[in-house]
């Protein structure tokens, strides 16, 4: 064999060895990648399992806490039967001079006597919750807001089609409530002592109303 042939064969042999080594390296890389892929799949599966378990735990915990909260608050069981007068605050000229927000378009305007019964039953539960006036934590705005919230819940539980024409109201120095009766008269209501103070139009101090918010399911 000539030196040229030996040189050519040597180069081919070296190339073959090099390709063999590269092939072996690729095989090792594929094996490692396969193991990593399987490991990733297992990790992903565990993450999904943990997520589902945590989601289930949190869902049950929220339900449990909601039930505990519901048990800690008592709403009055109101008995109300339709039909009742329906009012639309936007169409009431008596309200045009006020900064007004209304959550719904239509509301029931109960007879004044019915309102007095509804509010007396609801205020009794509000008083159990807030107990008494305390600056910043259960003062006038808190009483008006909680009265609003309790009444929304109590009226919703009756199955009526609309909420009652009841509002949170603010003067420059006080927060309280209003209600509209079936003759469209608007009455000032003090939730701290369950008293109908007078008509909105009379503007009795400190009930010189500036802003009105009609309650509802949404806003």
Q: Are residues 150 and 59 in the same domain?
A: no
Contact at 8 Å (CB) between 177 and 189? Answer: yes
* Confidence at residue 39, expressed as pLDDT on a 0 to 100 scale: 75
The count of domains in the chain is 2
For residue 77, is it within any domain? no
For residue 80, is it within any domain? no
Q: Which two tokens stand for residue 76?
A: 């009055």
For residue 94, is it within any domain? yes
Q: Are residues 146 and 183 in the same domain?
A: yes
For residue 12, is it within any domain? yes
Q: Are residues 209 and 127 in the same domain?
A: yes
Domain that holds residue 179: 85-214
pTM: 0.67
For residue 66, is it within any domain? yes
For residue 78, is it within any domain? no
Q: Are residues 107 and 60 in the same domain?
A: no
CATH number at residue 130: 3.30.460.70
Q: Are residues 99 and 204 in the same domain?
A: yes
* Confidence at residue 118, expressed as pLDDT on a 0 to 100 scale: 97
For residue 55, is it within any domain? yes
Cα torsion angle, 135, 101, 165, 178, sign? positive
For the chain, how big is the Rg over CA atoms in Å? 37
Q: Which of 72, 105, 123 is the last residue of a domain?
A: 72
* Confidence at residue 33, expressed as pLDDT on a 0 to 100 scale: 72
Distance CA 215, CA 164 (A): 8
Q: Which two tokens stand for residue 136?
A: 């910043």
Distance CA 53, CA 168 (A): 43
* Confidence at residue 32, expressed as pLDDT on a 0 to 100 scale: 79
CA atoms within 13 A on the CB side of 108: 21
**pLDDT tens across the length of the chain (219 residues):** 554 555 445 555 666 677 677 777 777 777 777 777 777 767 777 777 766 776 676 667 656 655 555 566 788 899 898 899 999 999 999 999 999 988 899 999 999 999 999 999 999 999 988 888 787 777 899 999 999 989 998 998 899 999 999 999 999 999 999 999 999 999 999 999 999 999 999 988 999 999 999 977 543
SS3 91: helix
Q: Which two tokens stand for residue 60?
A: 């049950």
Distance CA 55, CA 97 (A): 50
* Confidence at residue 136, expressed as pLDDT on a 0 to 100 scale: 75
Q: Are residues 93 and 197 in the same domain?
A: yes
Q: Which two tokens stand for residue 133?
A: 């006036």
Q: Are residues 205 and 113 in the same domain?
A: yes
* Confidence at residue 51, expressed as pLDDT on a 0 to 100 scale: 65
Contact at 8 Å (CB) between 191 and 177? Answer: yes
Contact at 8 Å (CB) between 74 and 124? Answer: no
* Confidence at residue 58, expressed as pLDDT on a 0 to 100 scale: 62
Give 90's contacts (C-beta < 8 A, 6+ positions apart).
102, 105
């Amino acid at each position: 064999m000539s030196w040229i042939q030996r040189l050519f064969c040597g180069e081919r042999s070296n190339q073959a060895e090099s390709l063999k080594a590269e092939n072996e390296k690729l095989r090792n890389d594929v094996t490692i990648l396969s193991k990593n892929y399987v490991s990733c799949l297992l990790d992903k599966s565990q993450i999904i399992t943990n997520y589902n378990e945590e989601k289930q735990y949190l869902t049950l915990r929220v339900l449990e806490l909601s039930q505990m909260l519901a048990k800690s608050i008592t709403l009055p069981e109101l008995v109300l039967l339709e039909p009742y007068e329906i009012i639309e605050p936007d169409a009431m000229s008596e309200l045009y001079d006020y900064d007004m927000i209304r959550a719904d378009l239509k509301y029931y305007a109960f007879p004044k006597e019915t309102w007095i019964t509804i509010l007396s039953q609801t205020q009794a539960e509000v008083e159990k919750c807030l107990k008494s006036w305390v600056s910043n934590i259960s003062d006038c705005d808190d009483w008006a807001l909680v009265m609003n919230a309790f009444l929304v819940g109590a009226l919703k539980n009756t199955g009526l089609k609309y909420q009652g024409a009841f509002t949170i109201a603010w003067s420059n120095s006080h927060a309280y409530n209003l209600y509209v009766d079936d003759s469209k008269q608007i009455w000032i209501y003090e939730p701290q002592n369950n008293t109908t103070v007078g008509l909105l139009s009379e503007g009795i101090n400190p009930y010189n109303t500036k802003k009105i918010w009609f309650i509802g399911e949404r806003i």
